[in-house]
A and B are shown apart, each in its own frame.
Chain A
């Protein structure tokens, strides 16, 4: 019985599909949406911007807010009574997902989110999560 599901979202359409799938496949589960902000990028703008923000927790929440809003919309669209929790992490997405995965029964990820450049900086997140996760991973295409 899957009761706790982790859905990492990066604002991409693919990650929205992951949440839609999780809502459909585990209608009674407690779903946690994880948004990682400040990930490595060509100029390290977001990461440094967060570090330099007067209140980085607030800044991180601002960055994550659109993703969470979208997630709540998707939950509403699914017309389920799914419980949605939201969590923010900083830095490298793979590391953040793996660190949290232990507390969940399964992780549902989109197959890919970013561009070639993103792939270079952080690698294929889904692939790495599949390899390193301590719990079963569902990759949504």
Chain B
């Protein structure tokens, strides 16, 4: 009987991990794959390795929180399986409707529902987690806005990440022993840019592992049904499986949306989101990588859109503002309107892109998702008290 329940639990874990693999591989590698810097299979392989690394190290802290700190009792095997089903349900809804339902938040929600139903919820821990959930998007937004407004133009001026025709690296066969050399059209700058993108992708994969590996298995670890190390390996295999299969699609869909923003901006987003996620996971706080990513994207765009200078000036960077202003005045074609294009009566305003109400509506989904999962789990565990 116990074996059967455990088997069902592991299958549920694999389902959850598989889907996490699909979505987080898309976020971590979509930009690099979209830019043609590496293939999908290579991305999936790197993903699997760094997810394992993240889960094995930093992820343990989140595992402790999810499996032991949120509720005062251990999660029984049967309850753990039920919790996994609620996490899976959230993922299913996310997949079917294309809505981002943050897995970390659904997981905490479902476990909290169990805690409420059994009167064992550790309110101190849940309050601490939820307060970080409020701080994180604000922090990500603020970092994004600061970079977007003050630093990005300068970064943009200095770094150019491009992908030339032909392979990145080739073999130099001129000597007696073939040695690796730059591909036919590769510049050193391109090589450096590519390495940067790969390193940052690996970093993001690591943070995805740290924050997401516990989601797939923590409910089974709590009762001791699954040993921690085994659990991390099971989760990694499942995430890897998702990375090699369904992530092919998410790398395209997420990648195509992320490719709407310049690669450099995507890298800023990835560094910021990964750092926030890794740091919070280190502190044992379950956090969504997607949430940090999206808020950084919004911050970057909004920060840039609300700059008190025109786009033309921004192109030149605002470091030598005075000098640039002088140069601009002398520039005859500064405020041009492309000829032949019907222009709107008034100039387009980039600020319209970030309507506060639209952003609030978006953020509200992060509140609805975990709340629903808490309520559903609470109702379930009240109705079915055998667990």
A3 interface contact, C-beta 8 A: no
Q: How large is the interface on A (under 10, 10 to 19, 20 to 34, 35 or more residues)?
A: 35 or more
In the complex, what residues of B have CB within 8 A of residue A92's CB? Answer: 352, 355, 358
Smallest CB separation, B263 vs chain A (Å): 11
Q: What is the CA–CA distance of A18 and B347 in the complex, to the nearest angstrom?
A: 27
What's the minimum C-beta distance from A50 to chain B, rounded to whole angstroms? Answer: 6
Are B297 and A56 in contact (CB-based, < 8 A)? no
A54 within 8 A of B: yes
- Does residue B311 face the partner (Cβ distance < 8 Å to A)? yes
Please report the C-alpha to C-alpha distance between residue A53 and residue B315 in the assembled complex, in whole angstroms: 9
Cβ-defined partner of A52 (8 Å) among B265, B348, B354: B265
User: Which of B293, B311, B315, B347 is in CB contact (< 8 Å) with A43?
Assistant: B293
| In the assembled complex, A132 has its CB within 8 A of some CB on chain B | no
Q: Residue A113 at the B interface, CB < 8 A?
A: no
A88 to B365, CA, bound (A): 29
Interface window among B104-112, B205-213, B254-262, B321-329: B254-262
Interface positions, chain A 18-72, Cβ under 8 Å from B, are: 38, 40-58, 60-61
What residues of chain A lie closer than 8 Å to B342, measured between beta carbons? 85-87
Interface pair B97/A116, CB less than 8 Å apart: yes
Say yes or no for B338: interface residue by CB 8 A criterion: yes
The answer for the CA separation of A115 and B95 in the assembled complex, in Å, is 13
Complexed CA–CA distance, A12 and B152 (Å): 34
Instruction: Please tell me which stretch of B132-140, B165-173, B196-204, B299-307 contacts chain A, meaning at least 4 of its Cβ atoms lie within 8 angstroms of it.
Output: B299-307
A55 touches B311 (CB 8 A): yes
- Chain B residue at minimal CB-CB distance from A100: B344
Is B54 on the interface with A (CB-CB < 8 A)?
no
Cβ A51 vs Cβ B355 within 8 A:
no
From A90, which residue of chain B is reached at the shortest CB distance? Answer: B352
Assess whether B355 is in contact with A48, with CB atoms less than 8 Å apart: no
What is the distance, in angstroms, from A17's C-beta to the closest C-beta of chain B? 23
Closest to B259 in A: A45
